[in-house]
Amino acid sequence: MAVAGFNPSELEVVGKTPGPFGGPEVPLYNFPVKLREAYRAVYLKQPIWQITGIERNTFNPRLIPDVVARASVMDGRKAEQKGGKDMFGIEWEFIPQVGGSMIRPGKPFLSSMDEWYDKVVWPDIDSWDWEGGAKEVGNYLKTDKYNIGVFFNGWYERLISFLDFENAAVALIDEEQQEAVKDFFDKLSDLYIRIFDKYVNYFPDVDMFIIHDDWGSQKETFFSPAAAEEMIVPYMRRVTDFLHSKGKFCELHSCGQAMKQVPNIIAAGWDSWNPQAMNDTQRIYELYGDKLIVAVMPDPFDPQKTTEEEQRAAAKAYAEKFCRPEKPSMFNFYASNLLTPAFREELYKQSRINYMR
């Protein structure tokens, strides 16, 4: 993609768009390319400016039961239901205080993964109204932003939904359950591939997918890298390989401390990761940024106590470290509160200059 170098006229504000995570509106500059093209360029290792989150449009169609169960419908229409049964018939309870859903602990569907062969009822995805769902979405995906399909309940999260958290962690390392877990994950990957095959056919405007599978707590990963390498990575890789074969990029959404797991994230075929703040994102970029697009956090500062000049200096320093054309990154979406008008403008300007070198 041939793009000219930075021109000061690009800083002209031509509109506004909602901020990430429902934040206040942010300016739209006189960008040299469409937002969708800029987002895709990062994955093609041809970055144009530092992506901050305004370039994406998140999509969660209600026809997939887990989207409603997890209370996260994002398809341009108001969600009438929050919570309920997921695609496997597991009940999720919506918790208004946190704005999300969870499975009520203490009564797991399975006591051991050996039971899944007889007890798990696999969803009939052909009965889902794909055609009707595609029509109902209307123009939601007809945008100049990069459309990202979100998919809940990856491999370990699905294990938790059947066993509860503690039992799921044990199942990964219990020799008496490991083969059953592998068989289940293998069939689960078959199912996910079939779902994504329909997804890309009925929603062709979706550009990439973010798949959820939380791997860590505030302080540590839930399981060892060795356990992830053996028990999860091969099955993830089947799905990411499939999506890549369809021309779609893949991001792992994994909350918690998972720095030890980055080699496994790469081995599983993920193109990008947006780590939470308990991870040293700058160190992850230094170690793995040539193999994984890392969403990097800037050095922290208090926007209320930092002068505009200092904010611009911080943005420029960030761009010098992390906006390198041979090793692109993204701005970490969990640090969106630091994108003050001055920081945002200076980051855009300096990233444009750096990436066009």
CB atoms closer than 10 angstroms to residue 111? 12
Task: Please report the pLDDT score of residue 1 as a whole number.
Answer: 62
Task: Please report the pLDDT score of residue 144 as a whole number.
Answer: 95
CB contact at 8 A, 307 and 335: no
DSSP 102: E
Give CA separation, 201 vs 134, 146, 148, in Å: 10, 17, 15
| Cα angle 205-208-214, degrees, rounded to a multiple of 5 | 140
H helices then E strands: how many in the chain?
A: 13, 12
pLDDT tens sequence for the chain (357 residues): 679 999 999 999 999 998 877 778 999 999 999 999 999 999 999 999 999 999 999 999 999 999 999 999 999 887 778 899 999 999 999 988 878 898 888 889 999 999 999 999 999 999 999 999 999 999 999 999 999 999 999 999 999 999 999 999 999 999 999 999 999 999 999 999 999 999 999 999 999 999 999 999 999 999 999 999 999 999 999 999 999 999 999 999 999 999 999 999 999 999 999 999 999 999 999 999 999 999 999 999 999 999 999 999 999 999 999 999 999 999 999 999 999 999 999 999 999 999 998
Residue found by looking up tokens 């359950």 in the block = 177
Task: Please report the pLDDT score of residue 104 as a whole number.
Answer: 82
DSSP 8: G
How much helix, strand and coil, in percent to the nearest 5, is found in the chain? 45, 15, 40
Q: What domains are there in the chain, each with its CATH number?
A: 8-355 (3.20.20.210)
Across 272-310, b (16+ Cβ under 10 Å) vs e yields: bbbbbebbebbebbeebbeebbbbbbbeeeeeeebeeee
CB contact at 8 A, 196 and 184: no
* Tokens of residue 83, six digits: 């919570």
CB atoms closer than 10 angstroms to residue 25? 11
Strands 26-29 and 13-17 turn out to be: antiparallel
Global pTM value: 0.96
Task: Please report the pLDDT score of residue 6 as a whole number.
Answer: 96
Residue found by looking up tokens 């062969």 in the block = 117
Residue 233, φ and ψ in degrees, nearest 5: -55, -45
Residue found by looking up tokens 């193109």 in the block = 271
Task: Please report the pLDDT score of residue 19 as a whole number.
Answer: 82
Across 144-167, b (16+ Cβ under 10 Å) vs e yields: ebbbbbbbbbbbbbbbbbbbbeeb
| Cα angle 98-148-158, degrees, rounded to a multiple of 5 | 55
What's the CA dihedral at 21, 22, 23, 24 to 10 degrees? 150
